[in-house]
Amino acid sequence: MTNAPGPFSDRYSRQELFAGIGPQGQAKLRGSRVAVVGCGATGSSLVTLLARAGVGNIRVIDRDYVEPSNLQRQSLFDEHDAAESMPKALAAAKKISAVNSDVHVDGVVADLTPANANDLLGDAQLILDATDNFETRYLINDFAVQQNIPWIYMAAVSAYGLTMNILPHETACLSCVFPAAPQGIVETCDTAGILNTAANFVASVGATEALKFLVGHTDKLRRSLLSFDLWSNDRSEIATSKPRADCPTCGAHQFPYLAGEGRPHITLCGRNSVQIHERHRPISFPEMEGRLSPHGRVKHNDFVLKFWHDDYEMTLFPDGRAIIKGTTDTAVARSLYARYVGS
């Protein structure tokens, strides 16, 4: 049976009437396990769609916290989450539990790195990319190709969205289509803004492709890089049905991002911010509050500590990771971290 008896026993009845899913497909969804990397605009919509569709196990991985500017487009969160600076992964898990208690959401407050990729992604049937940077996407691509785990690339900025299904060794991978990360000036949410409809469009397409895969209709999966501008109505597709013969990832099995080569500080989408990738530095928030209080305003909950000093805002996580808001200069961010947290 796909539905437990009770007041919500017909929860999936309309979805089961759809011929592409049916009762058997719904049962497969209930036993499925996916990982969603990133829970911003695209990710929050994606998690909502998958949970409401009955995907039984969803791991949400996100390093960031909710703030007021997120509320325009990040549909899982509310003003209370922003006021409390709730980590997005934990806020998402709490919200989904109120929407569909049949679904288990594992909210992980972490930055996806080469060191934790296997722990966070290794048990997933499907990986869904809802990140905001190519470094993490190439890491996902390296891991997915190495481990032969399908994944779906998604991105949205301004009114523009694009997405691609990647079936390792069968279709093109990210490196086949983008041999190197974009160079020079690249549009971000901070410079070009974003429509919530663009993020929802990409999430809807990605979630539908995920459902096709999870119920076993891989023959229906799109084998192209799809891009669409919702404002201008421009649309394009690039065929991705075959791996590129000279792809270093697919062909030569080179995985530099998984090896952690040249991992930089990351400027986050949507804010004038730099993330400091400190790990294995356990932070006592009460102790840190005592240290920082003479230098500026401090507040914390169980999940994050926020510190304001001059024009900068530091958000510190329990593992020692920090987001420095007010600069894109990594040297300035590192200096502030070393001065107030330690080197």
141 vs 147: CA distance, rounded Å: 10
Summarised one tens digit per residue, pLDDT across range 28-84 is 999 999 999 999 999 999 999 999 999 999 999 998 899 998 999 999 999 999 999
Query: Pairing between strand 57-62 and 126-129?
Result: unpaired
Residues of the chain scoring pLDDT < 50: 1-4, 185
Q: Say what the pTM is.
A: 0.85
Of the residues 39, 173, 176, 189, only one is catalytic, namely: 189
Domain ranges (residues) in the chain: 31-239, 272-340
The pLDDT tens digits of the residues spanning 227-243 come to 999 999 999 999 999 99
Q: Per CATH, is 272-340 categorized as 3.30.310? A: yes
**Is there a contact between 172 and 242 (Cβ–Cβ < 8 Å)?**
yes
Beta strands, E only, 145-270? 151-157, 160-166, 224-229, 235-239, 266-267
For strands 126-129 and 104-109, give the pairing. Answer: unpaired
Q: Is 189 a catalytic residue?
A: yes
Architecture of domain 31-239 in CATH?
3-Layer(aba) Sandwich (3.40)
pLDDT exceeding 70 applies to what percent of the chain? 92
